[in-house]
Amino acid sequence: MEFQLQVDPVIGYVNSDIDPSLDLYAEIDRLKKEKNAVLLAHYYQEPAIQDIADFIGDSLGLARKAAETEADIIVFAGVHFMAETAKIINPGKTVLLPDLNAGCSLADACPADEFAEFKARYPNHIVISYINCTAATKAQSDIICTSSNAEHIVRQIPESQPIIFAPDRNLGGYLNKKLGREMVLWDGVCIVHQTFSEQKLVRLKVRNPGVPVLAHPECDEPVLRHADFIGSTSQIRRYAVEEPHDTFIVATEEGILYQMQKDSPGKTFIPAPPESGCSCSQCPHMRLNTIEKLYLCLKHEAPEIHLDEAIRIRALQPIEKMLEMSQSIV
C-alpha cells in the first residue's frame, strides 16, 4: 500500500500535488489492478469518471454490485450515502469516497434524531426509506427502496398496513397518487430535481411537438404531470433505447445524458430547463468528485468510510430486505 494520508474533514479529500506528466487514466487502471479495487460510479458523475468506471448504474444497480463484488477495495464515485451503503453491505472491505463533502440534500434534510421523533408519532407504521439517506436513518427503517424499485416494494405491502415514507416527498407523493396509498411523507426534496421549471418545460414541449418527456420521480408534481414516462435513471435510459422516437426531453440530472447519447448516437436528448439560467441540473455534490481526487483517493486509500458497528448492523437489515424484495427487477 502506498502511504496513507489523514484527510482533513473540512477539506474532505486528499490534497496532494500530482505529477503533471502522469497519465491519470493509466495510473488509476494500474492501481485498481494492484490493489484489487473496483470503481463503482453513478450516472450523475462527470463523463471522464463514467468512462473509467468498472460499473455505472443507479442506486439499485450500485447496491447490487456492492453486494456481489469480490474486490478488496470499493471506490465509490458517487455521494456519501452511496459509499455508506457499500460499507454497510461490506464491513470487511475498504470503502473509499474521493470527496467526503459529496453529500446529498435528501440525506442532509433527514437527520436521524429528528426522524426518530417523527417516527415516534406514528407507532403503527412501518418505515420505507429511500436509499438517499444516512446510515443512521436506514437503521431506523424497515425496508430501503430506490427509484427503480420503490413502486414494486410498496405494492408488496398490504394496503391495511400504514407506511411512513422518507425522505423524498416527491417520490412518496408520486407513489401515493399512482397507487392510491396514503403514506405519511417526510418533507425532503432533491435540490436538483426541484429546480426544473414547469412553465419552461411547457414552452419547450410547444416548440417540440410530439417529443416525449422522460422524468425522474424526484421531480416536483407539476413537472411530472407533463411527463410521458416517469422512472429511475436506469429506467429512463432503457426507455430511450427501446422507444422509436428520435428526440426526447429529459428531466433529471444531466449526467445521464452522456450514457444515453452513447446508447443512441442517432437520437437527440434535450435537457429539461431549470427555473434559472444556471447549470442547476448538475448535482453540485456529485460534481465534487474529479479524476484527480479519484486518483489520489485510490493511491492513498483515503478518505475511507467508517461506520458505527451497531448502526451498520441495524442498517443492513432493511437493505437486505430491499434486495430480497427486488429480485424480479432487472
Task: Give per-residue pLDDT as tens, 281-316.
Answer: 889 999 999 999 999 999 999 999 999 999 999 999
In the sheet where 213-215 sits, what is the strand order?
A: 229-230, 213-215, 247-251, 268-271
**84-111 pLDDT, tens per residue?**
999 999 999 999 999 999 999 999 999 9
Looking at per-residue confidence, does 239 or 2 come out higher?
A: 239
Phi, psi for 193 (deg, rounded to 5): -70, -20
* 279 pLDDT above the threshold of 80: no
- What's 193-271's CATH class? alpha beta
CATH topology of domain 24-102+285-307: Rossmann fold (3.40.50)
pLDDT at residue 278, as a whole number = 61
pLDDT at residue 4, as a whole number = 54
Domain with CATH 3.40.50.10800 in the chain: 24-102+285-307, 106-190+315-325, 193-271
Cell of 187: 418533507
Give the pLDDT band (50/70/90) at residue 182.
Answer: very high
50 vs 56: CA distance, rounded Å: 7
CB 63 within 8 A of CB 89: yes
- pTM for the model stands at 0.94
- What's 106-190+315-325's CATH class? alpha beta
Query: 127 pairs with which residues across the strands?
Result: 164
The total of other beta-carbon atoms located within 10 Å of residue 91's CB is 12
pLDDT at residue 233, as a whole number = 95
pLDDT at residue 49, as a whole number = 97
| For range 233-241, the mean pLDDT | 97
302 vs 5: CA distance, rounded Å: 7
| For range 16-39, the mean pLDDT | 96
pLDDT at residue 1, as a whole number = 43
In the sheet where 163-166 sits, what is the strand order?
A: 143-145, 126-130, 163-166, 184-185
| For range 145-171, the mean pLDDT | 97
Task: Kindly state the percentage of the chain with pLDDT values over 70.
Answer: 97
DSSP per position, 89-145: H-TTSEEE-S-TT---HHHHTS-HHHHHHHHHT-TT-EEEEESSS-HHHHTT-SEEE
| For range 62-80, the mean pLDDT | 95
